[in-house]
Structure 1
């Protein structure tokens, strides 16, 4: 008995805590067999294609030098994209994609880690797994290893793709390391958030808030001057991606910052997971009032309560984005720098009208494409309620399926109009003030932003269709939305054929403000959106819940 009661040696104890990690990693990779390849291939190929795009647009050293001078002299552009640290072809790729790629890698990582930690606990699956031969730290370790695999694959694809396109191998490796390293940092931060909060939604929100703060610090630091030398930039993980300086005299020691930050975050998450029970958190929700308010008396009130924070966050984000875009619109000519190829790209994205109007049309189009991410998330919240077994108690009351689904869809459709209104107002006000023509600019720009609503609603209807007819394939919704984003973002730069661009509903909209508009494309998109949603709701009425 004494021998049995003796504590295990340290190596044996560690092995016991990690028991089953390999099986959980294989399970996680199987569950994410669509999501991870979609993220890695889309982001990796977009970065790899940027070299050819810049080579086609800025084919000479003089053109690249003029672009670098123009961008570094514009504080708003530095805040948006960062400074140009080298006017080489690789330097332009790093300028355009280091921060953008780092943010997307961070989003991918936080989704992976939260899905396989806090979400598993929230649904009760983790408790079932822990009843078998699964160590206490195995689920967290498996989630982190899955995120590590995804980021390593992303870094390898970026490095290999850029090197194959003819760019220097050292700079390509540095850019891949910068983007993948940022993903690892936020994987660790997401692991900490998963221990602190009691729901996957709060864990994602907390990590997303840190990501937004990191981007804001980087933007504020870069707006102060070129060179990425501001202290605000240097304390941000997004700023570390710049300071690794791909293709600009690489500072390899900066990679140690990613490793140190990731190690600290992972260590903190391990310390926290050892001190709490499964399903518990260090920031538990406060108990609500004994009697629910009248606002929670129906399904819409519940849906509003569940999604109001998300809607508020997106609205504030669109206000900030619209203000930034509007502030740089008056300097659209400086952005183009007299380059004919760049002018053609802006005109393909925003129409053949004046350059400033084409730039505004481009920005409203980007707001519309990003708004589809909010709409898709709002629709797929229904699937989360199903899989979390929270839908059945609601439907067991005097609430029909269509009424339950309609409450969330009202926020998906209505919320799209709200955030685009916020973005359009901020864009119009900022541009009007910079152009000293607030009265003449606000109305057309706001209408241009709202003109994106039918295209967003078409993708929303497509998400409802997938939810109703193929609920297990809801991950494909993100791939569809991401495909439309990629078409709108890089399609004009690559001069893709018309049939490819027409796959996106956004390509059927008139390029407002400035272009001639008829009601026909708006009407057809609205009809298509209604038909897709109706088919999806019909499927939802007939299939099993869960």
Structure 2
């Protein structure tokens, strides 16, 4: 390799940074705010060592919690207790953001033809991939640094906060390299993202298996890049040396990525596409069938994840006594869940979180319509007898069916797990109904995404994700901070009945459904009236 292979790297990095000038800073602030708020809230939840020891024992003795979050290695440490949900799980969220960022600036640009245009100038063959990695690594370091500052500002020890932030940063760097390899193997951005995300899911599963195998952990955990940041044990030993593992992994995997890049043609992937039949089956004819076929793999992955989360939360709901021994903790769960029964309040709070995550899927799927438009696929479809309302309507229908399936899967799994522990079959229907009650609120965000695509196409991604972030912050943080009711009502989730345990009210759900319909119709009208991009 010569220096010319990286010619043009500086301008490409500046171009990628400009494209993400809003997206990455916003997510960095969101991650920092989440960990700072969690740390601050835990101070009042577990104010003394005795309460923290009891909570730690409840977590470490609940296999479903250990599988989901990991173990608390220092029961007396406030930081270890407060960050148990954020060490591995939060690092995985950072990894997802970094994966999408690297794929966006590598395989997605290549698929859209932008890389070919750049390579026609004085840009070296390795400059585009290197620029994508520079942005991914920079985002990881920025998020890790912001999280460390947020934890220190919340009153946690500075060294432990630095180890926590470094764990997030190194995990993000490790999966930036995984995304770089996936971008060489797959021929499309969607396939590359799915491949890297599947690797992340497998790593998280290995960590869960290792953490639940023995009380001191198992060697299987050390096979997972997700577990390395956790094994640095922030606030419970602060083992800096462990963080060299994800960096060594990233260096080796990045070398593999560049080796693969040298072996393939521009625009091609090393995993060959399977040739399809010469004629489409009758079930694939039409925009609705095509849209579902394109989203099928993504939906299956989300369904598996939601089913697992539902089973975990349903099992946890029956083991709350030790976990929430503090009266303040119980009161906070009731505040988030909105019911007097602690178990029902916990289920309601967790279903609310799953509903907001479902909205992420909905926003992502609707915004696919915009990416298909900019990539020219919409123009090909609309050149046939397919009308614009029919084309954009297919995305809305598939998205609505998808979020319904996700909520039903989570609610059914949680209901089955909870009913298995309580022995009451009626709990299945109660929890399933509580999950589906969030559907109108999720539909409002889907309608908002459609309106944004229809009327603000150039700013669809930034406006759509910004709206979702604002709703998530209001819905999850607002009740605990006791924000004014007028502010909380801006979130559609504020109007969902707190089920199970709360009083069911149909009128707010009908208003939400009406708002979702009007927003979706507004989006269809806007898409019909404007020019294609």
Q: Shared fold (TM-score greater than 0.5)?
A: yes
Q: What pairs up with 1:20-39 in 2 under 5 angstroms?
A: 20-39=8-27
1:71 corresponds in structure 2 to 59
- Counterpart Cα distance in 1 of 2:479 and 2:203: 30
- Is the 2:54–2:323 contact (alpha carbons within 8 Å) kept by the matching residues of 1? no
Q: What pairs up with 1:232-243 in 2 under 5 angstroms?
A: 232-243=220-231
Task: After superposition, give the CA deviation of every residue in 1:111-167 in whole Å (9 maximum; x if it has no partner).
Answer: 110000000011111100000010000000000001111111112212222223332
2:86 corresponds in structure 1 to 97
Match of 2:356 among 358, 369, 386: 369
Match of 1:421 among 408, 412, 422: 408
Structure 1 residue 323 displacement after superposition: 1.0
Q: Does the alignment pair 1:468 with 2:457?
A: no
Structure 1 residue 516 displacement after superposition: 1.1
- Counterpart Cα distance in 1 of 2:173 and 2:39: 25
- Number of matched residues? 531
Q: What pairs up with 1:369-388 in 2 under 5 angstroms?
A: 369-388=356-375
Q: What pairs up with 1:296-335 in 2 under 5 angstroms?
A: 296-335=284-323
Match of 1:523 among 499, 502, 510: 510
- Is the 1:155–1:180 contact (alpha carbons within 8 Å) kept by the matching residues of 2? yes
- Counterpart Cα distance in 2 of 1:491 and 1:80: 25
Structure 1 residue 493 displacement after superposition: 4.1
Structure 1 residue 218 displacement after superposition: 1.6
Q: Indicate the larger mover: 245-254 or 489-498.
A: 489-498
- Counterpart Cα distance in 2 of 1:223 and 1:498: 42
Structure 1 residue 335 displacement after superposition: 2.3
- Counterpart Cα distance in 1 of 2:124 and 2:419: 60
- Counterpart Cα distance in 2 of 1:98 and 1:415: 30
Q: Indicate the larger mover: 43-52 or 503-512.
A: 43-52
- Counterpart Cα distance in 2 of 1:408 and 1:284: 28
Q: Does the alignment pair 1:257 with 2:245?
A: yes
Structure 1 residue 484 displacement after superposition: 2.7
1:9 corresponds in structure 2 to none
- Counterpart Cα distance in 2 of 1:393 and 1:524: 37
Structure 1 residue 503 displacement after superposition: 2.5
- Is the 1:75–1:225 contact (alpha carbons within 8 Å) kept by the matching residues of 2? no
- Counterpart Cα distance in 2 of 1:45 and 1:422: 30
Structure 1 residue 376 displacement after superposition: 0.9
1:6 corresponds in structure 2 to none
2:117 corresponds in structure 1 to 128
| TM-score with structure 1 setting the length | 0.95
- Is the 2:363–2:464 contact (alpha carbons within 8 Å) kept by the matching residues of 1? yes
1:61 corresponds in structure 2 to 49
Structure 1 residue 51 displacement after superposition: 2.0
Q: Describe the shift of the 1:235–1:494 C-alpha distance in structure 2 as closer, same or farther (beyond 3 A).
A: farther
- Is the 2:56–2:323 contact (alpha carbons within 8 Å) kept by the matching residues of 1? no
Q: What pairs up with 1:285-304 in 2 under 5 angstroms?
A: 285-304=273-292
- Is the 2:38–2:83 contact (alpha carbons within 8 Å) kept by the matching residues of 1? no
- Counterpart Cα distance in 2 of 1:456 and 1:361: 16
Q: Describe the shift of the 1:493–1:92 C-alpha distance in structure 2 as closer, same or farther (beyond 3 A).
A: farther
Structure 2, gaps ≥5 residues long: none
- Is the 1:333–1:356 contact (alpha carbons within 8 Å) kept by the matching residues of 2? no
Q: Does the alignment pair 1:358 with 2:345?
A: yes
